[in-house]
């Protein structure tokens, strides 16, 4: 299997192209600051991932901005912290402030010359539109949780994406390389559905799973520690 075997790259966005952990922590500083160091960044991300995933599972049709707001309130409750008026809503609206990884825009511009690019993301359209400005590329199709009515790792999200690329491009699953950071949200389902997978391991060398639930036993077809490394491997071919 070679990187040049595919026609379409389907991308997770947050954690892969957008540095959601940096964005989450920056938006969480008012809450963490009131705890006086009681909860460190690693624990905060882990707790965030646990609450976010639970809310997405129990309320799959909830807009992502409201998922974030409810996650923030759940964290404050768990940590015994007070929440100021409007604070949960501000956290829910924070996605446009989350930074892109330094290599994302340039890498996407290169890959756009060789593949169709498709987003499969666990956010709402409005939030993704703001992030897309930082990525600087016109995606050929965009599939969000808001469009689908569920959140990854629900299989419905991948089925929706597969229907989209078939209807828009006449593409078969074998034409697709699913490219993502999260083994939990993305790779476990993509592999189960027979898709080729490309792991952008942004957390390589870091302890724990960060804001993503840890999962064992998932083998991907490709692994790179950055989008720049992925592009370099493609250039070499």
Residues acting as catalytic residues: 12
In eight-state DSSP terms, residue 40 is -
Backbone phi, psi, residue 22, to 5°: -65, -40
- The answer to whether 210 touches 185, Cβ cutoff 8 Å, is no
Q: Residue 55 and residue 64: Cα distance in Å, rounded?
A: 10
Backbone phi, psi, residue 80, to 5°: 70, 35
Q: Which bin fits 194, alpha (ψ -120 to 50), beta or left (φ > 0)?
A: left
In eight-state DSSP terms, residue 37 is T
CA angle 18, 132, 194 (to 5 degrees): 65
> How many residues are present in the chain?
237
Nearest to 224 by CA among 5, 3, 1: 3
Tokens found for residue 232: 């370099």
CA 156 vs CA 93, 116, 150, 181: distances in Å: 26, 22, 7, 19
DSSP character string of 148-185: HTS-TTSHHHHHHHHHHHHHHH---GGGEEEEES-III
């Amino acid at each position: 299997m070679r990187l040049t075997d595919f026609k379409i790259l389907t991308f997770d966005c947050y954690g892969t192209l957008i540095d959601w952990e940096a964005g989450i922590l920056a938006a969480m500083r008012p809450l963490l600051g009131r705890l006086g160091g009681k909860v460190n960044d690693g624990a905060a991300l882990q707790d965030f991932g646990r609450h976010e995933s639970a809310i997405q599972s129990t309320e799959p049709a909830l807009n992502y901005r409201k998922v974030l707001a409810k996650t923030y309130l759940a964290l404050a409750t768990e940590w015994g912290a007070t929440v100021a008026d409007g604070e949960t809503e501000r956290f829910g609206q924070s996605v446009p402030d989350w930074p892109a990884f330094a290599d994302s825009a340039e890498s996407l511009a290169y890959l756009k010359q060789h593949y169709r690019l498709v987003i499969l993301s666990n956010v709402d359209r409005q939030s993704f539109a703001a992030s897309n400005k930082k990525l600087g590329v016109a995606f050929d199709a965009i599939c969000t949780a808001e469009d689908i009515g569920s959140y990854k790792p629900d299989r419905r999200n991948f089925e929706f994406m597969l229907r989209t690329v078939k209807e828009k491009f006449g593409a078969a699953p074998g034409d697709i390389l699913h490219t993502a950071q999260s083994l939990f949200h993305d790779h476990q389902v993509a592999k189960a559905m027979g898709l080729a997978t490309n792991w952008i391991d942004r957390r390589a060398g870091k302890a724990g799973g960060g804001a993503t639930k840890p999962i064992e036993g998932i083998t991907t077809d490709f692994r790179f520690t950055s989008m720049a490394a992925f592009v370099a491997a493609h250039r070499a071919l």
